[in-house]
Structure 1
Amino acid sequence: MLSKPSRIYLLFEGAFNFADKIIAPIFVVFLQSFSLTPAQIGVLLSVSNWVTAFLDFPTGALSDLKGRKLTSTGGLFLFGIGLLIYGLGKNFTTFVVALSLMGAGFAFVSGSITAWYLHEIKRIGLKSEIHRVFSLSTGFSSAISALAGVVAGIAASVSLRLPFLIGGAVACVMAAVCFFVMPENYGTQNKKHLAFMSDTIKTFWGAPFIRKYVYLQVLAEVGFCYFILSWQPYLMSFGLKASSLGFVFTLMMMAGAIVGLLLSRYMNHTNNPTVVALSVLLMGIAFIGMCVGRSLTAAVLSTLLYQCALAIKMPAHAAWLNGFLKDENRATILSAISTCVSVSTALFFIGLGVWMQHVPFKAGFILPAVALFIATLLAISMDRTEIRVTVSEQD
């Protein structure tokens, strides 16, 4: 049986993923129902990333200094409020407000819940459980997301607004539950906020591994952003109805859950950099499949391949990075990385939205494929032994 910190971590991740994924099958379609262009949708989707980028680093430091439970649960609650406003929205301005709150919520959660979990699991002496739980988290979250997809499909057949309202309610309720069952912990309480952030920035830029890790994440984010913008209209271009997107999404999440659960059995025996390189390569191949696919079956298989590759990448990436971070500033470093990625994501959503509007739809998939193939080469080049020595010197 898993330890209490592991169960709480999975509960939190499951709640956050349900709230996030119940809207995923109709997020873009909902905006299209207001006659917004791909470029306008790209700008809207960038809003939450700009807010996250602005708040992520200071909230990460706040988490280490003032308490990781408070920031994690507060972030989940803010995310839920944003979803509720989004579901009730009727114009561009309302969506901006909603996405700003969702971005702020993500900023508070980013890094905090992982740092909270790693602190608790090490405190009770069960570090051996970490790799298994990271993989289980991917499988469990995918299973929860699959359930969210079914609920989204049923709810969307009633109203496209309903999935947002359900997700918001779940996030707010589970934030309250987690607040009462999670013990509080901290990174360090002996430094002032600005001084702590300054010291962390020096560590961040002084570690070659972290810089390369950010480059890798940014390149992979090109593929992720393009997938978010394109998979729904891509499948609908083959005749799939909007009401069926939720069920395809469920299939994607189930595939990810199976991969995540299988990976959890072997996570302790795998080389994380190799797994990351392989998964990113598979993502690139998925986009090539989208480019050349000529049937709905081929299109669905390509989206499934991308989702499975993402399920492989996430736990390996997390375990790879967290193996090199110190507990005292873990949340702050994770938030600093998230800030860099969020800025890139915001720019990518805008740029890729314009790209999709001016480039033939299927030909556009070449761009993310190229970015992911470059990311694969970068992952292969990141030698684990050299990195460990470099980061140790920062200590």
Structure 2
Amino acid sequence: MYYARMKTKWGKFYKLGYTSQDSLEERLNYGEKNDGGLVDRVLLWAWSDSALHDEQRLHGLFHNKRVFGKYGKFHNGPLYKNGQSELYAEDIFDLDPECTKEQVKNSIKAAERIGIEYRNDPIGDHPIWRVVGYVLMVALSPLILLRKILEETVPAMKREKERILELERKRETDIAAAVLEIKRKSTTYRDGAGSNGSCRIFDRAKSENAWKKSLCDWLNRALTVEPEDMTAEDMFRVVKGNFSPATIDSVECLVLGDAQGGRHISALPECLYELRGLRSLHLQRNEIEHLGDKLGQLVNLEELKLGGTALKTLPAAIGQLKKLRILTAWWSDLESLPPEIGQLSELEGLDVSGCENLKVLPSEIVQLRKIKRLYLPAHDDFKLTAEQQRWADELKKSGAEVEHYW
């Protein structure tokens, strides 16, 4: 997680986000954007196991203070296509001692000059508003004074810190207990390989840290399959033996692979489809060639990431995922998309860029009207029909980002 002050030719802005890079400069320079030089001061740089979730939650809390809106893309503005929508004109975390009202006012005016109507515009300069402001100041001054006294006399920050530490201690205790229990029950277990039902030994010493990480993720309602020598089916078999069905149903995020690497998984266990509460499923950079029709059972799924897999098509059951908002399959072996994709009425992001075997889209694709990000292949064999081209043009006019990538 990072929070930094950015110095641009339009003024000073504050940027909130997360990254896997070693520094904010590397994050902003990624893809030869060369925006690292805009960093004026890093105000927060902290590790978080759930950085993406925390960042999105914070952006949601401060959504009315964003300068450029959630999907802003203004060519003349700062950080174009590099986190522009994560900019704030004011110090939302109150971490910058140098931030002044004049600075905030100038930054808002600069944003307005490049064509943006600031969402949280302050009271105007009309005389009537000055009178109203004066009356409110007189009426509220006792309350403001009382609040200041309370903030100075009651160590609220200290109590909050102690509360968080206590929660962390309890969480560590829960993890330790779960580790002991799962180690005790998983000395040997069925591997499922071969007709003789052979068993394999779980290496406790080498894998204890990996198990702790998995259990941390599990308690955070996310499950990352660890250690590396365990298959997805192995992990589910052991976990299901130690957690109640209610706990399993509470898992919202399952990570079997990410943008950096996968686990060489070629097939998914049937028990995966029992995670009915799943909202996010990451299968990127694995060797998966097939998704079963039971995929439609994951009715709460909002995000499905299949980039870098060996999938050639998607099952028709994908049309049952009525809550799906994000579908990515970049650089996969996709040859076609099913017509049922047109039933994903809530879909906001579709990424099939770099899919060299994908030549056409189903005609039903034009039924998707909520698309805000559409990334398509750029090779010569990929074509849009006249109707699909009109659909893509309409999306652009409504503010969506439609791009072709290799």
TM-score (norm 1): 0.24
Structure having greater relative contact order (Cα 8 Å, sep ≥ 6): 1
Give the number of the structure whose alpha-carbon radius of gyration is greater.
2
Structure having the higher helix fraction is 1
Structure having the higher strand fraction is 2
TM-score (norm 2): 0.23
